[in-house]
Amino acid sequence: MSSTELKNIALLIDADNTTPRGIDPVLTVMAELGQVNIKRAYGNFAKNNLANWGTITHKFGIRPQQQFDLTAGKNATDMAMTIDAIDLLYQGKVDGFGIMSSDSDFTPLATRLRQDGLIVYGFGSKNKTPDAFKSACTRFIDIDALIAGASEEDGTAKKPKSGTKGAVDEELVELLGTAWKAANRDEDGYAQLGEVGSLAGNRSSFDVRNYGYKRLSDLFEAMEQFKVERRDNTLYVKRLR
């Protein structure tokens, strides 16, 4: 991507409902969309449980947005994030958003941003984030899987053996199988891997990083239900069963 093609991306962080350990890998993913020029973290940083954010905000150039708990039971953080996101939307200076949170309250926000054609990546814990928020995002990525993958790369975690990464369940097999069926296949039943991936990617909950893999080809090669074949510089995939 050339400098003239870089998009202006905003990353909004719900510090109450995410972990600072995910910032580095999240920013790496967000680089797919463009340059993350706006980075804001929202929360009551006077609380002890948010103390670790102080070092993180300085390290990554994140602007902390202090939100005091003025009324018990009311979440000022969610409101402030939503207001800022809509302000950025109407200013017309942002091409895409990243929302770090496992809170379903951001479902209407993600839906509204996408209505204006903006890309919205959601980052949250897979087991804590409601399906409604996952589906509202252009793509939802499990932040726990991202952190685990980053730990493997820097050697702070033991790498799993080949084929033992994230669980491959029947739902995933059927999702990829449906995408394969919808793709253009040759007489031997092979479809281009890129086309299958694009069709599967229409489901916001699907991303290979959620299963501990960097590339779609690695995921398919680890699944016994599919066969991957290379022809020149193009990869093809076929469902076996």
Does the fold of domain 170-239 match that of domain 3-153?
no
Furthest CA-CA distance within the chain: 66
The strands making up 226-231's β-sheet, listed across from edge to edge, are: 191-192, 234-239, 226-231
Q: Where are the domains of the chain?
A: 3-153, 170-239
Whether the pTM exceeds 0.85: the reply is: no
Distance from the Cα of residue 228 to its chain's centroid: 25
**pLDDT score for 6:** 67
SS3 114: helix
pLDDT at 146 over 50: yes
Q: Span 221-228, mean pLDDT? A: 91
**pLDDT score for 164:** 42
SS3 100: strand
What is the pLDDT confidence band of residue 101, given thresholds at 50, 70 and 90? very high
Q: Which residue has the higher pLDDT, 48 or 137?
A: 137
- What is the per-residue pLDDT across 47-56, written as a single tens digit (0 to 9) for each? 888 888 888 8
Q: Span 211-225, mean pLDDT? A: 89
Say how far apart CA 238 and CA 193 lie, in whole Å: 9
DSSP per position, 10-39: EEEEEGGGS-GGGHHHHHHHHTTTSEEEEE
pLDDT at 3 over 60: no
pLDDT at 177 over 70: yes
pLDDT at 231 over 60: yes
SS3 215: coil
Cα torsion 14, 18, 23, 27: sign:
negative
**Weakest mean pLDDT among 62-71, 75-84, 94-103, 109-118:** 62-71
CATH number of 170-239: 3.30.420.610
**pLDDT score for 235:** 93
Say how far apart CA 80 and CA 86 lie, in whole Å: 10
Percent of the chain scored above 90 by pLDDT? 55
- What is the per-residue pLDDT across 51-74, written as a single tens digit (0 to 9) for each? 888 888 888 999 999 888 765 545
Per-residue tokens: 79 = 């409101």
SS3 145: helix
What is the pLDDT confidence band of residue 162, given thresholds at 50, 70 and 90? very low
**pLDDT score for 238:** 93
Of 122, 139, 112, nearest to 14 by C-alpha is 122
CA distances from 144 to 2, 84, 87, 115 (A): 31, 26, 30, 28
Crossing angle of the two packed helices 143-153 and 23-30, in degrees rounded to 10: 100
Per-residue tokens: 158 = 């033991």
- Give every CB contact of residue 34 below 8 A, 6+ residues apart in sequence: 1, 6, 7, 8, 9, 95, 96
Q: Span 112-130, mean pLDDT? A: 94
CATH number of 3-153: 3.40.50.1010
pLDDT at 37 over 50: yes
Residue with tokens 């202090």: 66
> Would you tell me how many other CB atoms lie within 10 Å of the CB of residue 194?
15
What is the pLDDT confidence band of residue 33, given thresholds at 50, 70 and 90? confident
